[in-house]
Structure 1
Amino acid sequence: MERTELGWLKHLIGCHDAEKKDLKLLDSYYEGEQPLSYLAPELQAEMDERVRQVVVNWPQLVADSIEERLDVEGFRFPEEAEADEELWRIWQANRLDAMSHQGHLDALVMRRSYVIVGAREGDASTPVVTVESALDVYAEHDPRTGAVAAAVKRWCEDGPDGADVDHATLYLPGVTSWWVKDRGEWLPDPEHERDEHDLGEVPVVVLANRPRLKKPGGVSEFKSVISLSDACCKIATDMMVSAEYHATPRRVAFGFGEDDFQDAQGRTVSAFSRIIGRIWATEKNRKTGQDGDGADVIQFPEADLANFHSTINQLARLVASLAGLPPHFLGYATENPASADAIRSSESRLVKRAERKQRDWGEAWEQVMRLVLRIRDGVWDPRVMSLETVWRDASTPTVAQKADAATKLFTAKIVPLRQTREDMGYSQAQIARMEEQDEQAAQDAMRRLLDGDMSALGAGPKPPAEDAPEEPAPEPEPAGAS
């Protein structure tokens, strides 16, 4: 059964509302604002507002460790050795250097993010590309082809009377329409005209994290570590409660009343001061009977917090194992520091995960650029089907190692000079400046050569021959010699 535009709008909004609660919870874990878990209700009621959750934000570490290795550096057509300058200009014009990082991070946290492409008013040569949060956009996939069948973007604005007004944009393969909610009903927005673009596909691209065949919407990178993070926050919070109530030695006073605990001015001392006071003095004695008061103070041994430390360390090991993080990311240190090779080896799983993201999201960004060229030119360019996303190296080799490997490959004529510079991690703008300087240096050398300066060939003038030393005069023969 084929839906109308209004039917698609209501269906997508209903699906989006059903998952927004889970998305907000995932977002709270990244921000370190998740609710306190595992704490007994009785203890929470007794502590009232004096207990604040100790947040050990491992989910943020997991997401940031991968996102920091995802840097787009350009787009290249298969028949070209250099990244395409026009596509990079459009990328820069839409501030995608910064927005792409935010899109990658949101996808890691909230399962997916979205990229929407459209025409720019007043500048047909530079289409608009926006990166959107999963809290604002929802897309549904066609079960037959796997492509995006329809998508909706929602937002809220202040109305003329100060009340909130809900707006929505519906994206379909042939048309984009704008809607506004009035008295509980969705109506076409009179301030925007329908865009009959006839692209044949929805101009919305999904950046899904770890999509699967039956889960094209992706899975949060936090899924395997949320329960461990909750357990660690609970243990850390319990440790702080124990530090306040049990780490200080507990004392019990016998034979004292409330009036006996006073300061020099006669004011009653607080209960906490009684617990941690350094010196106690009293006129009462420990004797019993008529001449004694029967006063006594005993002290219990303080609590050892080492059990909390070992539990947190064990949880950290589980997080490192599940998330593929190197031990030193979680603060593990030994008396003998790891070598550079050992550190790189420990990062191999993390690097491989980042490279998987580059492959998946590289295809998504290539689809974005196909839509950009289609909207700009009005026709589909068959070349863009082979477009390639250029990523920065996800590993962390030292500068000396990169330089040594790149130089050897270039010297052996396995790769050209431009690829060598890309392997070194230089950006496309830096490589372009280097090539300009190389060309200028070649022109200067040719000019000197035409002027007769042979040093332009790398060889200076032949040095003058030194005068040969004179042969020593023969010594006279001794007298009487025959």
Structure 2
Amino acid sequence: MALTPSDLELITELKQRLDARFLVDDRNLRYYRLMQRVEQLGMAIPPEMRRFLVVANWPRVVVRTIAGRQKVRAMILPGEETVDPTLRAIWDANNLSAHTKMYRRDKLIYGRGFISVGANERDRRLPIIRVESPREVEAMVDSRTEQMTAAARFYGKDKTGQGPTNVTLYVPGRTSWVAKNADGRWYEVDRDEHGEPIPLVMGLNERLSGGFHGESELTDIIGLTDSVARSLTNLQFAQEAHGIPGIWATGVAQGDFVDANGEPLSQFEAYYDVIKMLSNKDAKWGQFTPADLKNFETALNIYGKQAAVSYGFPARYFGITTSNPPAEGAIRADENDLVNYVEDKNEAEGMELGWMGALALRFATGTWVDGNRVRVDYFDPGTPTFAQRADALTKMRSVGGISREGMWDELGWSEARKAKERQYLEEEAEAARTDPTLDRIAEGLLNAGAGLGE
């Protein structure tokens, strides 16, 4: 089936937009994967030293640190306070605990991420949710309504490795599957007239007003990564050239450095055998002072501190440590900026995943969620110890400030873990009703523990 001129124009424009991002996307991915090419190694490093290039993968540290603290606790419908079982089933069926990690990494590396929602032919109650590669998807958004007006996914390659050969075109109310024929023209293979908004969610990292464009989280770290690479490569060069102290000798000749057969010794053997080889009583030898490499450590610490300032990370994330490990309270204080930063990320991502949840429920139930919003709760992005949490929750529980279920939520228990604990409590209560001696035994153990505490 031939495509309409407007569809062809959309595909062309979206492909041009995607191609315009290629170089920047490729650079960011190379830095994340430690495959970048450092263009300028500095004046002190000869060109042949490029093969000894040493790179610290700080871009991956940035992405892992932020994404690793973003953990979804529950998806809750408007007006409810507990996790929705339908959303939980959809989440588990699509393995979204793992897939949302890919989504976050995409946003942090490329500045944008995409999630698609589609019908499941095998089980309508569990729609298919997938993370789409930002390097394959491009979208248009109406700036007034903030609704997606068109999107396309480009994929597939021919026998010669050229592509794309296929396009999935999204417009409001319709999804078209498009392929390229033998003469290089696009034609429609199939379509789905679903009458719904585009079933695609786009997330943007560090979006500014005035447009729908994201920014890679690696922007601030790329220059510092190159600087660190130069320092580390210089350090390696200095170790080779000046780290081992040189030895000088006078009153000797080249012929003195031979083996028992009169064959000349290698430079390495002559270097270490110079003391034994000097037979001339007037010969003298000495040792040059080796280079002090402390300045490289100072330079690396400067770069690490600058990286920590740029992202609000504790300096230890970039290799700056102290001899004494920080105490629990110091860790929380040191991570304050990082925690606030991750909470901002969670707030933006929560809106994106909320829209994804609303789309998924639409596919599963045929009805829209009230307000098309699903609330997404996250675990605390900080690093409190279990003892800190348990002590605070116990005190709140003792004054009636929190329920038993609320304590479990704050401890980060999953729904399965809470269901198992409810079962244990019911079994204990039933056992106590049938055998009152268990209560007396438990009371005795508690009294004994109190006595030991005194």
User: After superposition, what is the alpha-carbon deviation per residue over 1:194-218, rounded to whole angstroms, capped at 9, x for unaligned?
Assistant: 111111x221111222222135332
> How many Å separate the matches in 1 of 2:83 and 2:396?
21
Q: Aligned Cα RMSD in Å?
A: 3.1
Matched, 1:174 2:173: yes
Letter in 2 for 1:153: R
Which of 221, 233, 242 lines up with 2:229 in the alignment? 233
Matched, 1:316 2:318: no
Q: Describe the SS at the equivalent of 1:65.
A: helix
Q: Describe the SS at the equivalent of 2:52.
A: coil
Give the drift of 1:338: 2.4
Which of 198, 203, 220 lines up with 2:195 in the alignment? 198
Normalised by the size of structure 2, how large is the TM-score?
0.86
Letter in 2 for 1:354: V
Which of 236, 240, 246 lines up with 1:244 in the alignment? 240
Which of 186, 192, 215 lines up with 1:219 in the alignment? 215
Matched, 1:53 2:53: yes
Quote the residue 2:31 is aligned against: 29
> How many Å separate the matches in 2 of 1:330 and 1:167?
43
Quote the residue 1:302 is aligned against: 290
Quote the residue 1:105 is aligned against: 105
Give the drift of 1:41: 7.9
Contact 1:167 1:181 in 2 (8 A): yes
Which one has the bigger helix percentage?
Answer: 2
> How many Å separate the matches in 2 of 1:154 and 1:5?
14
> How many Å separate the matches in 1 of 2:165 and 2:255?
65
Contact 1:56 1:232 in 2 (8 A): yes
Quote the residue 1:426 is aligned against: 413
Contact 2:251 2:280 in 1 (8 A): no
Quote the residue 1:476 is aligned against: none
Matched, 1:279 2:278: no
Contact 2:165 2:179 in 1 (8 A): yes
Q: Structure 1 139/302 Cα, relative in aligned 2: closer, same or farther at 3 Å?
A: same
Q: Structure 1 296/140 Cα, relative in aligned 2: closer, same or farther at 3 Å?
A: farther
Equivalences for residues 49-448 of structure 1 within 5 A: 51-157=51-157, 159=159, 166-182=165-181, 185-190=184-189, 193-199=190-196, 201-250=197-246, 262-264=258-260, 269-271=265-267, 276-279=271-274, 300-382=288-370, 384-385=372-373, 387-443=374-430, 448=434
> How many Å separate the matches in 2 of 1:272 and 1:282?
13
Structure 2: runs of 5 or more not aligned: 442-454
Identity %: 31
> How many Å separate the matches in 1 of 2:386 and 2:324?
24
> How many Å separate the matches in 1 of 2:322 and 2:161?
60
Structure 1: runs of 5 or more not aligned: 288-294, 461-482
Contact 2:112 2:134 in 1 (8 A): yes
Contact 1:177 1:188 in 2 (8 A): no
Letter in 2 for 1:84: D
> How many Å separate the matches in 1 of 2:178 and 2:221?
39
> How many Å separate the matches in 1 of 2:258 and 2:140?
71
Comparing 360-369 and 256-265, the one that deviates more: 256-265
Letter in 2 for 1:77: L
Quote the residue 1:475 is aligned against: none
Normalised by the size of structure 1, how large is the TM-score?
0.82
User: After superposition, what is the alpha-carbon deviation per residue over 1:133-182, rounded to whole angstroms, capped at 9, x for unaligned?
Assistant: 212222222222222222222222455x9876622211122211122234
Give the drift of 1:314: 0.9
Contact 2:172 2:198 in 1 (8 A): yes
Give the drift of 1:87: 0.6
Give the drift of 1:339: 1.9
User: After superposition, what is the alpha-carbon deviation per residue over 1:35-82, rounded to whole angstroms, capped at 9, x for unaligned?
Assistant: 1243148944344x6x32111111111111111111112211243332
Contact 2:252 2:278 in 1 (8 A): no
Q: Describe the SS at the equivalent of 1:225.
A: helix
Give the drift of 1:263: 4.6
Contact 1:104 1:207 in 2 (8 A): no
Q: Structure 1 165/348 Cα, relative in aligned 2: closer, same or farther at 3 Å?
A: closer
Contact 1:262 1:269 in 2 (8 A): yes
